[in-house]
Structure 1
Amino acid sequence: MTVLRIMGIDPSLRNTGMCLGHVDITTGEIDWRGIAMVQTKPADKAKVQRQNSADLVSARELHRGVHKQFAEWRPNIITGEVPSGAQDARAALSFGMSIMLLASVPVPIIEVTPREVKIATGKKNATKAEIIEWAHQLAPHLPWLRATGKFRKPDKFDAAGNLISKGYELPAGRLMDDNEHMADSMASVAACVQTTQFMQMMAIYSAKAA
């Protein structure tokens, strides 16, 4: 069996999620092999850290983390959403870092759109929670982030102080919201294998394997 190793990357300044999928070039089926995440911290105001210094530290941590996984997983291609349309300077900085991070990986990249990523989960308007659940159902064996203790969601109120919804307790062992970044990277891979570009690449590999 010949497989293509695809590394999905969901890049951002604070949380970059990654995954590895092995795609059978005959059947197109994905065997999910791994997930990982790189998290960075904002400037430490207590230490009077300059913002640009903190950004440089974050950029180095992201580059180091992504390339560590790249070296371990040795993908043939990567895939992910290339961000666009920043609304302010900080968002533009994050987008720039994300694009450079994707460009720094020395293998071909197949770009996917936010719409393609959501459709790949089976719901074109999928919420973050639904994407996490979708990814977990596909690969429950992977090391998903789980809460170690109970947590109570607080009551929600409107601007006038009226109760909108009652809080509720979430149990220990639940899937954490931070899983969204790794789940998004899996959805990117699922979207990637549906693209014309990937189909063409798979045909080339199939011809070489014949």
Structure 2
Amino acid sequence: MERASGLQSSTASKTAIFLGLDPGLSFTGFAVALVDIMSAKILSVIEVGVIATERQKLKQVRLTSDGYDRARVHVSGIRRVIQTHDVRFVAMEMAAATRHIKPTFSFGVMTGIAASLEPPLIQVLPGEVKAVAGVRQATKRDIIAWALEESRQGSADWPTSSRTNKLGLSWRGRNVAKVAEHPADALAAIKAALTTDQFRLAANLFD
């Protein structure tokens, strides 16, 4: 796994390390990429992965207590990635509003975690993430396929499975696992963030 300095500058280009997040209490997908600030392009994908937790099945465990314990696991994992790669920006997919309690609770917890992180946060919407694949109503498979192609440059190792290849996608000769949808969304969040006014404003601040 390669490590790059969080911010590099030269007369030719200025680059920064981005962390993309697809948040959730069960699965948080993440992607780390080196981005050219001036051209707003992903140069290489350094690492992708999934932080996974399971809900405690004991009836006496309260939802809030369970959420707290699982959130600590996600915080630890996300901060490890930030420290390892000296991340300078975080791009995060923000879920649409829902009437259901559990998804709302989960996203509230994850939003709190994102707000506690030191790197500046760029928020993107689900529709912006889907648009990255070049298809207005992109499927999960479309986004994964885009992410795999985007990762040809870099050291990222995508989740694979020895089971039946339901996605019909492969990575270095192995079947891509369904769980790859989470880091794929995270990488797409980075790509979508590079088109936002928030990013353009930040880019103008680089010397």
> TM bucket by the smaller chain?
0.7 to 0.9
Larger mean CA deviation between 48-57 and 98-107 belongs to: 48-57
Where structure 1 has 5 or more consecutive residues not aligned to the other structure, the ranges are: 154-168
**Equivalent residue, structure 1, for 2:14:** 2
TM-score (norm 1): 0.81
1:108 corresponds to 2:109: no
Aligned length: 188
Cα deviation digits, residues 6-43 of structure 1 (max 9, x gap)? 11111011000111121112332212221121000111
Q: Distance in 2 between matches of 1:151 and 1:119?
A: 28
Taking the TM superposition and a 5 Å limit, the aligned residue runs for 1:107-186 are 107-140=119-152, 141-148=155-162, 150-151=163-164, 173-186=174-187
The answer on whether the counterparts of 1:82 and 1:98 sit within 8 Å (CA) in structure 2 is no
Cα deviation digits, residues 73-123 of structure 1 (max 9, x gap)? 221111112234132221221111121121111121111111111112211
Identity %, equivalent residues = 26
**Equivalent residue, structure 1, for 2:9:** none
Closer, same or farther in 2 for the Cα pair 1:152/1:69, shift >3 Å? closer
**Equivalent residue, structure 2, for 1:34:** 47
Where structure 2 has 5 or more consecutive residues not aligned to the other structure, the ranges are: 1-12
Q: Residue 152 of structure 1: CA displacement?
A: 8.3
1:50 corresponds to 2:64: no
The answer on whether the counterparts of 2:49 and 2:183 sit within 8 Å (CA) in structure 1 is yes
The answer on whether the counterparts of 2:67 and 2:106 sit within 8 Å (CA) in structure 1 is no
Q: Distance in 2 between matches of 1:152 and 1:34?
A: 22
Structure with greater helix percent: 1
Closer, same or farther in 2 for the Cα pair 1:170/1:83, shift >3 Å? closer
TM-score (norm 2): 0.82
Larger mean CA deviation between 189-198 and 85-94 belongs to: 85-94
1:91 corresponds to 2:103: yes
Q: Residue 170 of structure 1: CA displacement?
A: 9.8
Query: Amino acid of the residue matched to residue 37 of structure 1?
Result: V
Query: Amino acid of the residue matched to residue 50 of structure 1?
Result: V
**Matched position secondary structure for 2:34:** strand
